[in-house]
Structure 1
Amino acid sequence: MSNRIEARQRSLARRLLPLGYGLGAIVILIMGLTWGALQIQVTLGGFLDAESVWSKYQKQAVIELGEYAVTGHESNLQAFRRYAAILQSDAWARDALIHGQGDRRQVAEAFVRGKILPSATGGISVLLRWGSWVPWADRAIDAWRQTDSWIGQLNGIADQLEQAYRGRPPPPPSELQHLRERILAVNNVIQPLTLVFSSELAEGAQSISRALYLGVMAVILLTFLLWMLTAQRVVVSIHDSQERYQRLFDNANTGIVVIDPLTRTILDANRTVRMWTGRHADWMTSHTLDVLFEDELVDLARPQTQRLRDSHPPGRVVELQRSSAQWRGREVLQIVLRDITERLLMDEERRVAAEALAGIVEGVMIAGPDRRVMFANPACTKITGYSQRELRGRVLDSSRSQFDGQPLPASIWETLAAGGNWTGEVLSQTADGECYPEMLSLSTILGDNGEVRRYVAVFSNITSTKDNQRRLEHLATHDSLTGLLNRVEFERRCRKALTEAESSHRAVAIMFIDLDGFKTVNDSYNHDVGDQLLILVAERIRLQLGPKVSVARIGGDEFTALVPDLGTREEVAGMVTGLLTRLFEPVRVGDYEFTLGASIGIAGYPLDGLDSASLMVSADAAMYAAKMEERNTFRFYSPLMQADSRRRLRLATELRRALGADEFFMAYQPSVELKTGRIVAVEALLRWRHPERGCVMPGEFIEAAEQMGLIRRIDEWVLQAACAQIERWDRAGVPPIRVAVNLSAHGFSQEGFVDSLQRLIQRHGFDPSRLMIEITERVMLRLGEDTERAMRALHHLGVGVAIDDFGTGYSSMAYLKLPAIEYLKLDRSFVSGLPGNPDDVAIIEALLGIARALGLHTIAEGVEVEAQHQFMLRAGCEEGQGYYYAYPLDAAEIERLLCRDPGHQPMPLRLVGSGGGADRTTE
C-alpha cells in the first residue's frame, strides 16, 4: 500500500511542475490577464444569458410534461421533447468541451440552439475546458452537471406516460398522480441547482470586477494566489478522488472484480465479493475468475447469470456484466456482480402463485371498483362456460342472484366497502342459461385511504355438494339397509300424526312387526343372505301397506308402521291380515328359499297411549304377546300385556343389579371316570341368588340377558369365578381336576377373547389344560367363518374345548376335526332312553365310534340310573355326569369330597342314591 502512495506522490509532483514554470511568466501574463478578465466578463455575461434561456427551457419542459401528464395530448409531449433535446444538446456540448472531444461544428450548432451569444462562445469554451480550476466555475459547472440526471428522469417519466397513454385501458388516476408528483419533485431539485449555477457565476463576475479595479499588481498577486489554490485543490482532489474511488469500490452493494483480460486472473476484488465468497484478497489474486462460480463461464462479452461457489449464504445467484477500465496504467476488465437471488426467488414465487391460481378448481375473479371483471382464472371458464374475453368487463354480480330470483342485497357491498368479507350460497347462471347453486366468497382490497380498489370473488359449483347433502339427509332419516324410515324419523312422523289426530279427533295406529324365524336363518347362513332377506321383506311390507303408511326399520328384524287418520284402531285389522298373508309367502334369496312369518302388535291413539313413546311400548308388548301365544298372528294391545313388558324390564334391571351386587354364584357338578369312579372334572354351573325369589336357574334369565346385551358381562364373571376357584383349590391342596365352563356365542366370539383368557390364566397361575370351554353346536354355528380361527387360538393357548349337547344341533361333522376340540358331551336326550330304546342305543354307539376314530374323549350327560351307567361303561364312554353320581355342589363340598383321605388322593365316588347335597335341579 505504501508503494502505491509513493508512486502516486511522484506522479502528482510531475503534474505540478509546470505550475512552477508559470511563475516566470507572470509579468508576461499581466496584459494577458487583463484581456482575459475582460473576456471572462463577456463569458460570464454569455453564461448568465444562456442560463436564463436554459432555465426558461427547463421550466417550459416541466410545464409541457405536466400538461401531458394531465391531458395526454401528443402536442405537449412533442413540445417537451423539443425543450428536453435542447437541454440535452447543451449538456453534450458542455461535456464535449470539458473533455476536449466532439466536433467543433456540432458544438457551435449546440451553442446556437442554446441561444448563447457568439462573442461569448470562445470564453465559454475556455471556461468549460479549464473552469475546474476556478472554484465558483467548478461549482457552477458541477451544479449544471447535476441537472443532467434529473433531466434524464424527466425523459424517463415522459416515456412512462407515453407508454401508459398508448396502452389500453388508460392508466388509473393514482398512477398519473404519482407521476405528476415525481415531475414536481424533479423540478424542485433542478431549481436549486439552477440558482447555484447563477449565484456561482455572479460571484465570479464580482471577483473579476474587483481584480480589474485593483490593478496590475493585484492581478499578479491574484494570479499567484490562484496558482497556489489551484495547486492545493489539485492535490486534494486527486487524493479525495482516490479515496472516494476506493471507498466506492469497497463499499459498493454490488460485487466488483478486476481481472486481466487475457488470463482472467483476478487483480482485485471489493469487500462485497470477499464477503459473498468467504475468500480473502490474497487468495483471490492468485486464482482466475472461473473459481468463483459453479458453472463454466461463457463469453464475458455478454451479460450472464452464474451461481457462486461456496457462497454465504449458499445458493447466491449473481448477474455478470463486463466493462473496460484503466487500472494502474493498464487496460483491465471490470466484472460487476449483481446479486439477483432475491429477484429470482420473487419471480419464482410469482410464477408459482400464477400457476396455483390457474390450477385451483375454484373460480377466482378480480374486479375493479365498478365491479367489472378485470381478471378471471381458467376455472371460471370451466364453471361458467364464459370465455376469458367474455368475462372481462362483465359486472361481477350480473349473473348471480338469490335463490328466490332477487338480486344480491346491497348490504353485501356495504359490508365489503367497510373492509369486511362475505360468504354465502347464491344462484348463478352459466353461459348457456343453466342455473346452478354456487358457494360465493367476496372480499376487497382497499387503498391507503380506505377506498375499494379491487373486489376478489372466489366461487365454486356446489351442485354435487347439495346432492350429497340431500343424500346425507336421506341417510339421516332412513335405514341404510332397507331404505325405510329409521327410528328418529318414524318418531317425528308419529308426533306429527298425533298432533293432527288430536285436532281432528281421529285415531292413529302403530304396528310393531317382528319376523318369526329370522334369527335361525341369520345363524344358519351368512349375514349377506340375512341382509338380502331383510331388504326383500321390507319391500313387501312397504308395498303391501301402501304409500299412506309410514314404515320404519328400528333394528334387526323389527319394523314399525304408522297408520294415520283412522276412525278406530280396529280398522287396521284387514290391513294387518293381508300383510301377514303376504309375508308368509316364500322368499327366494339366491339359491335359497325361505318362508317367514311375523308377529305383529298393534296400539292405537288415544286408547293405548297419548304419545309416540307410550304407543311404541304398547305395540311392542302386543307383539311380544302374539309371539308368545301363537306366532304369525297379530294382537291388539291390552293392559295385561303391559305387565309382561314390565316384568321383562324389571328382569333387566335386576340382572344389572345382580352383576353389581355379586348375587351370582357357582355350583359345580362332578364328572366321573366310569372305569374307576374317580372325580376327574367338574362343570361350573351359574346360579343367581335372588334376594326375593331365592335361587334362580340360568334357564330363567340367560335368554333375557342375551336380548338385553348383558350376556358378555355374565360370561366374563363366570370365567373370572371359575379361574379364581381353581387357584383357591390349588392353594388348599386339592388334587388338580379339570374345570369346564359354559360360554355363550357372544362371549366366545368377542374380539380379544383368547388374549384376555390367557391373561386371566396367567394371573391365577394354573396350567391352561385345567380349564375346558364348553360350547354347544348352536354356538359353533353362530361363529361361522371365525370358528377355525378361534379353535386354533385356543389350541395354541392349551385350553381344551368340549362340544356340549352333541348330536342335537345342525353343525357339520367337519367341526370335529378342528384343533382344540378334545371332548364330546353326549346329550341327555340320547342317554335317557338307554338301554331300552334301540334308536338311542344305535345313536350312542355311532357317536362313540366317531369319537374313538377321531381320538376324542366322550362324556355322557344325564346319567341317572344304574342301567344307564353300566351301558355307557360297556359301550366305552370314558366319563359320566348326572344325578346318578352327584348333584351340583358348592365349592366347599367339592373340596371335602376330593380331600376325604389324609393323602389328598382322589377317592372313587360312591353312587349317590338319596345322598345329601343340592336340590335336584338342572343346569
Structure 2
Amino acid sequence: MPLAYALIAMVGLMLALTWGALQIQITLAGFLNGESLWSKAQKQSVIDLEAYAISGDAVDLAGFKRHYAVVLSDRWARDAIASGQFDHDKVAQAFARGSVIPDAIPGMIFILQHFSSAPHISEALRAWYSVDDAITELDEIAGELQRAYAAGGLQPAEQLRQRSRIHELNRFIEPRTNVFSVEVARGASWVGKLLFGGVVAVTLVAVLLWLGMARRILESIRGSEERYRLLFDSAADAIVMIDEGSGRILDVNRTAAAWTGRSAKELIGDRYVHLFLQPLAGQQAGRAATNALLAADGSTRPVETQTSVARWGELPVCQAIIRDISERVAMEQERRVAAEALASIAEGVVIADAHQRITSTNAAHTELTGFSSLALQGRRLGDTRRLPDGRALPKAIWDEVAAGGNWIGEVVSTRADGSSYPEHLSLSAIRNGEGHVTYYVAVCTDIHEAKANQRRLEHLARHDPLTGLVNRAEFERYCTEAIAQAERERLAAVVLFIDLDAFKIVNDSYSHAIGDRLLVKVGERISRQLSDGDVAGRIGGDEFTVLLPRLSLREDARAIVNRLLSTLSEPLVLDDYEVVLTASIGVAGYPLDGNDAATLIANADAAMYAAKTEERNAFRFYTPMMHADNRRRLQLATELRQALSRGEFRLVFQPSIELGSGRIVAVEALLRWQHPERGEVLPGEFIPVAENLGLIRRIDEWVLQATCAQIQAWDLAGVPPIRVAVNISARWFGHPSFVDGVSRTLQSRRVSPHRLLLEITESAMLRLGDDTQRTMQTLDMLNIDVAIDDFGTGYSSMAYLKLPAVTYLKIDRSFVTGLPGDANDAAITEAMLAMSRSLGLITIAEGIETEAQHEFLLRAGCVEGQGYLYSYPLQAEEIQALLSPNQQSGSPRLRLVPPRRG
C-alpha cells in the first residue's frame, strides 16, 4: 500500500507539473498574442496617424484612436500590476480590451506579478517600457494634427514636419517592438525548455524516490518476514499452520519440531490430527482444549491447544498454538494432592486473608470446633480464640508472623456449642513475589488429651507408678522445702526410712504380681498413719520413706514410728494367701543428722540397716557410728569387684555321706573368699553384696568352671569318681545363657553330666516362672541332675517335685536341728522323706551334728546326709587323700572332726 500511494502521488505530481506547464504555455501564448496585437496596434496607429496627417480624414484619426486605446489599455494593466496594488478584475478587463486570450490572462498577470525579473521577460518588459514616451508623443501629434485640421487645414511644411516626427518615432518604436517580440518568443522557448527539464527532473526525482521507497519497503517487508520467522521459530509454544480445507500441515516452528521429535520437512504435509493422542472432534476455534502431544519415540506431553482462522493471501489457514502445560499439570496435581492432604490432615487448618478474615477451613477443623467453613467465612481468626489468661490474641503475634517468623503457642478455642478446649495453635504467613502477606495459615490441634497425658506424665515423673507415692526425686524436693521451712522457724524435719523384712522371700515364693499388690497395700497403710503435711514416698523395691515436717524435736517422731511398726506387722490378705510382714525403720532429723535432703535420707537408711541387722521389726535413730557399718559394706563392695580379677576366691568341699554305709558318695562345692587383709570372708557376708552389685552370675560361672576343673584334676589323679554338687543362684538360673553355659563348661573339661549335681533353691525356680518347665527339660536331656535345696522353707508348690531333671531333695537344716526332740520338725521331716520315696527322689539332709539326728534320719529312710558330725568343709587335697585307693576304711562313719554332742 505505501508503494501504491507513492505511485499515485508521483503520477499526480507529474500531472500537476504538466498542467502547470500547460498553463505557462497558455500564458506565453497570451504574451505572444498580446505582443502581436500590441505591435500591430502600435504599427497601425503610426500608419493611421501618418494617413491622417496627409489626408486629415476623420476615419484615419478614429483608427489611430482605436489602436492607441489598445496600446494604452495594455500599458495601464502592466503598470497596475507593477504597482502591486491593483484590482484583478479591472486588470483582466484591460487585457481583454487588448484582445488578449482570456485563458492566458491569469497566467500573464501571475508572470507580470511574480516573474517580471525572469530571463527574457525582464528584457521584453524593458523594451515595452522604453516606447511609452514615444507612443504618448504620437498621441500628442494626433492632437496637434486634429487641432490644425480643425483650424482650417494643415500647411505643407507643417505636414512634412509632423510626418517627419511620426517617422522618427516609428523608427524608435519599431526596433523595440521587435525586441519585445523576440524576447517574448525567446522567453516562451526558455520557459518551455525549463518546464520540460523541470518535468523530467521532477519525474526522475519522483521515480528515484519511489524506487528508494520501494527498496526500503521491500527491505522492511523482508525484515518483517525474517523477524516473523525468528519470532515464529523462537516462540516458546509450538505453532502449526494448517490448511483449512485438507487439514494438512503447511508450516511448523522449531518448538513443534523439537516437541514431536520430527523435522519440519517430516511434519509439513502430515495431517494435524496425527500429532495428538486424543481425537480433536468437538474442538472449537478460539477456545483452548487440552490434549496429549505425541512424540516420535512414543512419549506424550500434556498440552493445551488453541486454534484461530487466518488467511495467507487467498488461502484460508488455521493457526494452532500448542502450549506445554506439563508444569501446570504438575502444579495442579500438587495442588490437588495438597488440597486432599489438607482435607484429610488430622489437625484443623484455617486459611485467612491478609486482614485475618477466614476464607476456608478443612474438615478436621469443622469436626474439631463444630463450625462449618461457610459459617466462619469473613470472621476474624482470633474471634473464637483467646490466650489461656482470657486475653484476645495480641497484635504482636500478627506483627511477628508478618515480619517473617511464625508463632506457636497455646490458646483456648471456642466451639460452636459454646464449650471451649485448650488448643495448640501454629501461625505462619504466605507471601507474594513482593514479600507482602497474602494469607495466614493456622494449624490447630486439640491438646486436651495431651495436657491430661502431660499431667499424668508429670505425676508419674514425680510419683511411683505402682503405689502412687512420691518418688525419690520428688521426695528430696519436699525434704529440701521442709528443711528450708524448719530453718526459718527453728523446728525439726524428720525422715523415716522403711524397709520390709523378708519381702524377698515373699516375692520369690509368690508371683511378682502378688508382691506388687503387697507393696500397694503397704503404701496405703503408711499413708493412713500420716497427718496433713506429711509426705510418703517409695524410692525403690520394698523401701519406703516418710517426711515429717515441722516437728519440735527429732524424738517426736517416735509415736508415728511405733504406729507404723504396728500397722505394718498386721497380716495382709492377698487372694487366698495371708502374708505377715514386719518392717525396719531408720530415723534421721534436721538439723541434728544432716543439713540437706540427700544426707538425711542416707542417714535414715543407715539407721534402718542398723535396725534390720540388730533386731528387725524395730526402729533406730541415726547415730554417727552407723556410718562405719555402711562404709564397711561399701568397702566390701569395692573389694568384691576386684576379687574375681585377683583370683581371691577358692573352693572347699563338704562330703555327703551315705547314711546306711558311711561312705563318701558326694561332695558339695562351697565358695570362700580369701581376703588378702581380712582373711577368709564367709559367703553369708559377701553373697548378698554380690547379688546387689549384679556380680553373682559371674561368681556362679567361676564356681562351676572351678568345680569342673577340680573334677577333671581328681580324675587325672585317679580319685574314684564321685558326685559334686554346685549351688546355683536364682539370677544365673533365670539367665537365657544358663543351660548353654553349663553344657559348654562340661564339654570343655570333658566331665560327664552325671558327675555334676545342680542345687537350686525353690525361690530360684519361682523366679524363673513359666520358663522353669522348659529349662528343666533341657537339663534332663543333657543328663544333668538337679537337687531342690532348702525345700519347705518357703511357699513352694509340690508341682516342682515332678519336673524333669529333679532327682534329689535336700532337707533344710532348720528342720534337722530340732530332731529328734521337736515333734513338729520330726513330723515334717518324715513327711518329706515319705513323699520323696513315693516320687523316687533321693533325699539329702543338711546340718547333721549329733548321733541322734543321724540315727533318726537313718530310721526314717533318709539316703544321704551332710554336717559337722561327719566333716567340716575340706580342701581339695584333703578330699583327694580321703578318697585315694590306699586310704584305710575300717570305720563305718567318717570322723575327721568330733561331733558336738548335746
* TM-score normalised by the chain length of structure 1: 0.63
Partners of 1:485 and 1:553 within 8 A in 2: yes
| Correspondence 1:507 to 2:492 | yes
Name the structure 2 match of 1:699.
684
Partners of 1:599 and 1:623 within 8 A in 2: yes
Name the structure 2 match of 1:850.
838
- The correspondence for 2:14, drawn from 34, 45, 51, is 34
| Correspondence 1:275 to 2:258 | yes
Partners of 1:487 and 1:554 within 8 A in 2: yes
Shift of residue 481, structure 1, vs aligned partner: 0.9
> Matched residue of 2:558: which SS?
helix
Shift of residue 528, structure 1, vs aligned partner: 1.8
- The correspondence for 1:567, drawn from 552, 559, 562, is 552
Shift of residue 317, structure 1, vs aligned partner: 0.6
Shift of residue 783, structure 1, vs aligned partner: 2.5
Partners of 1:508 and 1:563 within 8 A in 2: yes
Stretches of structure 2 lacking an aligned partner (at least 5 in a row): 20-193
- The correspondence for 1:535, drawn from 520, 526, 530, is 520
Name the structure 2 match of 1:470.
455
| Correspondence 1:254 to 2:210 | no
- Which residues of 2 match residues 592-603 of structure 1 at below 5 A? 592-603=577-588
Shift of residue 263, structure 1, vs aligned partner: 8.3
Name the structure 1 match of 2:361.
377
CA deviation vs aligned residue, 1:644-682 (integer Å, no higher than 9, x gap): 555544444443343454322122345678999997765
Partners of 2:358 and 2:380 within 8 A in 1: no
Shift of residue 483, structure 1, vs aligned partner: 0.9
Name the structure 2 match of 1:743.
728
Return closer, same or farther for 1:30/1:516 CA change in 2, 3 Å cut-off: closer
Return closer, same or farther for 1:873/1:388 CA change in 2, 3 Å cut-off: closer
Distance in 2 separating the partners of 1:288 and 1:897? 116
- Counterpart residue type for residue 675 of structure 2: H
- Which residues of 2 match residues 312-323 of structure 1 at below 5 A? 316-323=301-308
Distance in 1 separating the partners of 2:195 and 2:891? 162
Name the structure 1 match of 2:471.
486
Return closer, same or farther for 1:667/1:517 CA change in 2, 3 Å cut-off: closer
Distance in 1 separating the partners of 2:890 and 2:318? 123
| Correspondence 1:217 to 2:205 | no
Partners of 2:509 and 2:763 within 8 A in 1: no
Return closer, same or farther for 1:591/1:256 CA change in 2, 3 Å cut-off: farther
Name the structure 2 match of 1:52.
none
CA deviation vs aligned residue, 1:752-789 (integer Å, no higher than 9, x gap): 43445556566667666665432122322332323113
Stretches of structure 1 lacking an aligned partner (at least 5 in a row): 1-18, 20-25, 40-210, 902-906
Partners of 2:358 and 2:381 within 8 A in 1: no
Partners of 2:719 and 2:885 within 8 A in 1: no
Name the structure 1 match of 2:668.
683
Distance in 2 separating the partners of 1:872 and 1:531? 40
- Counterpart residue type for residue 505 of structure 1: R
Partners of 1:824 and 1:857 within 8 A in 2: yes
Name the structure 1 match of 2:651.
666
Distance in 2 separating the partners of 1:784 and 1:391? 62
Partners of 2:637 and 2:693 within 8 A in 1: yes
- Counterpart residue type for residue 850 of structure 1: S
Partners of 1:367 and 1:396 within 8 A in 2: no
Return closer, same or farther for 1:625/1:873 CA change in 2, 3 Å cut-off: closer
CA deviation vs aligned residue, 1:164-198 (integer Å, no higher than 9, x gap): xxxxxxxxxxxxxxxxxxxxxxxxxxxxxxxxxxx
- Counterpart residue type for residue 497 of structure 1: A
> Matched residue of 2:460: which SS?
helix
Name the structure 2 match of 1:174.
none
- Counterpart residue type for residue 744 of structure 1: S
Partners of 2:776 and 2:804 within 8 A in 1: yes
Structure label with greater radius of gyration: 2
CA deviation vs aligned residue, 1:3-35 (integer Å, no higher than 9, x gap): xxxxxxxxxxxxxxxx9xxxxxx9x99976634
| Correspondence 1:816 to 2:801 | yes
Shift of residue 699, structure 1, vs aligned partner: 2.8
- Which residues of 2 match residues 415-426 of structure 1 at below 5 A? 419-425=404-410
| Correspondence 1:781 to 2:766 | yes
CA deviation vs aligned residue, 1:463-522 (integer Å, no higher than 9, x gap): 443333322222121111111111111122122212222222223332222334543332
Partners of 1:830 and 1:843 within 8 A in 2: no
Shift of residue 548, structure 1, vs aligned partner: 2.6
Partners of 2:657 and 2:865 within 8 A in 1: yes
Distance in 2 separating the partners of 1:910 and 1:435? 97
> Matched residue of 2:323: which SS?
strand
Shift of residue 740, structure 1, vs aligned partner: 3.4
Name the structure 2 match of 1:351.
336
- Counterpart residue type for residue 492 of structure 1: R
Partners of 2:808 and 2:842 within 8 A in 1: yes
> Matched residue of 2:529: which SS?
helix
- Which residues of 2 match residues 811-890 of structure 1 at below 5 A? 811-825=796-810, 842-843=830-831, 846-847=834-835, 849-852=837-840, 888-890=873-875
Distance in 2 separating the partners of 1:680 and 1:636? 52
Name the structure 1 match of 2:510.
525
> Matched residue of 2:788: which SS?
strand
Partners of 1:833 and 1:840 within 8 A in 2: no
Distance in 2 separating the partners of 1:709 and 1:560? 25
Distance in 2 separating the partners of 1:289 and 1:739? 101
- Counterpart residue type for residue 520 of structure 1: I
Distance in 1 separating the partners of 2:262 and 2:10? 60
Shift of residue 340, structure 1, vs aligned partner: 0.8
> Matched residue of 1:545: which SS?
coil
- Counterpart residue type for residue 305 of structure 1: T
Distance in 2 separating the partners of 1:630 and 1:520? 18
Partners of 1:325 and 1:331 within 8 A in 2: yes
Distance in 2 separating the partners of 1:885 and 1:212? 169
- Counterpart residue type for residue 540 of structure 2: G
Distance in 2 separating the partners of 1:289 and 1:772? 97
CA deviation vs aligned residue, 1:333-355 (integer Å, no higher than 9, x gap): 65543211111112222333344
- Which residues of 2 match residues 881-900 of structure 1 at below 5 A? 888-892=873-877
Distance in 1 separating the partners of 2:261 and 2:751? 76
> Matched residue of 1:701: which SS?
helix
- Counterpart residue type for residue 276 of structure 1: W
Return closer, same or farther for 1:646/1:223 CA change in 2, 3 Å cut-off: closer
Partners of 2:809 and 2:843 within 8 A in 1: yes
Shift of residue 825, structure 1, vs aligned partner: 4.5
> Matched residue of 2:236: which SS?
coil
Is the deviation greater in 745-754 or in 602-611? 602-611
> Matched residue of 2:704: which SS?
helix
Partners of 1:479 and 1:553 within 8 A in 2: yes
Partners of 2:762 and 2:788 within 8 A in 1: yes
Using the aligned pairs only, state the percent identity: 54
> Matched residue of 2:334: which SS?
helix
Distance in 2 separating the partners of 1:364 and 1:483? 42
Shift of residue 614, structure 1, vs aligned partner: 3.7
> Matched residue of 1:318: which SS?
strand
- Which residues of 2 match residues 392-403 of structure 1 at below 5 A? none
Partners of 1:419 and 1:446 within 8 A in 2: no
Distance in 2 separating the partners of 1:909 and 1:280? 118
Is the deviation greater in 635-644 or in 515-524? 635-644
